[in-house]
Structure 1
Amino acid sequence: MGDRVRGFPKRCRCGEAVEWYHTFKWTDISMLEEIEDLIEKVENIEGTSATLQKGFNACENELENLALETRVCETVVEKEIGDCKMQLRSLKNIVVVAMFIVVFLKFIF
């Protein structure tokens, strides 16, 4: 065959459709080429799959890190809110005491 085609031929060298009397290629050679081509495709798919799996694992790790950071931030915010509430209570107490002193001084003078 002048025009080398791997695997089972789909067209004859002359361009006609493959028929049992129109073209010839040994079946064992065709089958071997088909298998070799499939092995290469499977290896490419496996490589791509491994790359995708690594990317997926990296995304999962990043999500776990973000979830941990979110929990830490929530804890810090809750603590800050608690501190602000305590300061607000202290300020309320100071205002009440100051008003009491003002009222007390007003009655005295």
Structure 2
Amino acid sequence: MGDRGRGIPKICRCGEVVVMNTSRTVKNPGRLFYACPFGAEGDWYHTFKWTDVSMYEELVDLIRKVDKIKGASITLQKRVNTCEDEIETLTMETRVCEALVEKEIRECKMQLRSLKNLVVFAFVMFFFFKIMH
């Protein structure tokens, strides 16, 4: 049985497995019920519950659970959307950073070539003056 005795009973208070039976009374002919095999009519200790009542409770509880899952699903979808937006923003920022880094690398290469040319020129001038003197 579910929370607070709701839903389909599984185990009687006595510990026995509850079974489903069919009523043979004049008042409830053919009506299904759950009962402890050791229970008797009017016995309050052993489990007895009409199947239609149990099923109604099961459905009500299931609807509540589905509604709760729907709410959680909506919340989760909003969080996923937020994460996707953040990923998109980070992707754009990464592309901007990559472009800036590539620009900096190109500028560094140009400065390195200029420095290399200056060093070569300085060596040429040094040897030229060395040879001339």
TM-score by length of 1: 0.76
* Paired position in structure 2 for 1:53: 77
Are positions 1:8 and 2:8 aligned together?
yes
Q: Deviations over 1:27-59 (max 9, x none)?
A: 332222111100011112112222222222222
Instruction: Please provide the CA RMSD for this pair.
Output: 2.3
**Distance change in 2, residues 1:92/1:17 (3 Å):** closer
**Amino acid aligned to 1:30:** S
**Cα offset for 1:101?**
2.1
Q: C-alpha separation between the residues in 2 aligned to 1:11 and 1:98?
A: 98
Q: C-alpha separation between the residues in 2 aligned to 1:8 and 1:94?
A: 91
* Paired position in structure 2 for 1:95: 119
1:19-98 superposed matches below 5 A? 19=19, 20=21, 22=39, 23-98=47-122
**Amino acid aligned to 2:76:** L
**Distance change in 2, residues 1:13/1:94 (3 Å):** closer
Q: C-alpha separation between the residues in 2 aligned to 1:75 and 1:97?
A: 33
Q: Secondary structure at the match of 2:5?
A: coil
**Amino acid aligned to 2:110:** M
> Which structure has more helix as a fraction of its residues?
1
Q: C-alpha separation between the residues in 2 aligned to 1:104 and 1:15?
A: 109
Percent of residue pairs bearing the same amino acid type = 61
* Paired position in structure 1 for 2:28: none
**Cα offset for 1:106?**
2.4
Q: Deviations over 1:51-91 (max 9, x none)?
A: 22222222222222222222122111111110111001111
Task: Give 5+ residue unaligned stretches, structure 2.
Answer: 22-34, 40-46
**Cα offset for 1:15?**
4.5
